[in-house]
């Protein structure tokens, strides 16, 4: 397993979900060991993808530095993580990543267009060595040691279209595209006015979000998956875990997790002694098994 970047520069233009303004997203290759860097081209400010860069988790994961911020990074980072990309420059000319259709499939297609290049440099992983958990009442997010990378998520909404949903996703790029990438973000009609009053959801509509009224789903085309709501939660969780900068070897388990809890989980993981070990394939049989399971192409 080697470090990766993209083969060529690519871009797309869309609107932000929360601010509702046009923004152009540009992806460019970086050399090995560069990591993932966000760049506000309109402000000339670079923001590294590290847990310390997170400045807000209200309805989205937001990173920032100095006078610059980049909002709603989780869908793009979910796709970047799934494609095994370690080194990448992500430039935008406004403060929010384009929402596209509310899932990460457009970002996957953009990465397909960009292509992948491998360096002759080993890729590292964070191997979870002991359970780590963050709770907020009944809600929790947890990491546990595992031979495979698994995302196990449960939700329970008092809404007839959602109710209780559970999904277990064993990570691989192919499975991600088939099972997770097309799952859209969702919201409740009665919350829209409140969100817009605090400057959020201005770009949300039926083309980029599953919208629910009191009785059901307002989108005429219906759902893409039977459990699309919880699958989108997994999509978000993968993007939030990508803030660590290198992939996880372990199980992520959650009930009603959120961007806030995910951020607290990454911070706790990095600061708790003995919670993890950074390993390469040459150092761990588990990582060799991870390579076989992921089979990134």
Instruction: Please give the annotated binding residues for Zn(2+), written as ranges.
Output: 75, 232, 236
- 259 belongs to the catalytic site: yes
How far is residue 195's CA from residue 190's CA, in Å, rounded to a whole number?
10
Q: First and final CA of the chain: distance in angstroms?
A: 11
Catalytic option among 18, 107, 166, 259: 259
Q: What residues form the annotated binding site?
A: 75, 232, 236
Neighbours of 68 (CB within 10 A): 17
Is residue 170 within 8 A of residue 150, CB to CB? The reply is yes
Residue showing tokens 């506000």: 40
Task: Please choose, from the candidates 164, 178, 176, the residue with its C-alpha nearest in 3D space to the C-alpha of residue 239.
Answer: 176
The residues that are catalytic are 259
């Amino acid at each position: 397993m080697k470090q990766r970047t993209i083969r060529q520069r690519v871009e797309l233009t869309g609107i932000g979900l929360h601010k509702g303004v046009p923004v152009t997203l540009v992806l460019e290759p970086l050399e090995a060991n560069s990591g993932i860097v966000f760049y506000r081209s309109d402000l000339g400010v670079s923001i590294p993808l590290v847990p310390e860069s997170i400045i807000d988790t209200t309805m989205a994961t937001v990173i920032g530095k100095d006078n610059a911020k980049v909002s709603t990074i989780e869908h793009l980072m979910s796709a970047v993580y799934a494609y095994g990309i370690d080194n990448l420059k992500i430039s935008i000319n406004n403060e929010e990543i384009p929402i596209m259709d509310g899932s990460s499939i457009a970002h996957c297609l953009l990465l397909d267009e960009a292509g992948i290049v491998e360096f002759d440099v080993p890729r590292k992983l964070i191997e979870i060595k002991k359970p780590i958990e963050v709770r907020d009442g009944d809600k929790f997010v947890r990491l546990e040691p595992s031979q495979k990378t698994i995302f196990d998520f449960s939700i329970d909404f008092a809404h007839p279209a959602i109710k209780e949903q559970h999904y277990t996703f064993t990570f691989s790029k192919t499975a991600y595209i088939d099972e997770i990438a097309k799952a859209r973000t969702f919201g409740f009609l009665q919350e829209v006015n409140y969100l817009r009053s605090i400057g959020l959801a201005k770009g949300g509509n039926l083309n980029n979000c599953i919208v629910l009224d009191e009785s059901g789903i307002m989108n005429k085309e219906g759902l893409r998956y039977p459990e699309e709501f919880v699958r989108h939660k997994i999509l978000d969780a993968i993007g939030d875990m990508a803030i660590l900068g290198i992939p996880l070897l372990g199980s992520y388990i959650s009930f009603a997790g959120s961007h806030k809890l995910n951020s607290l989980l990454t911070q706790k993981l990095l600061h708790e002694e003995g919670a993890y070990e950074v390993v390469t394939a040459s150092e761990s049989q588990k990582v060799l098994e991870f390579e076989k399971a992921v089979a990134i192409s």
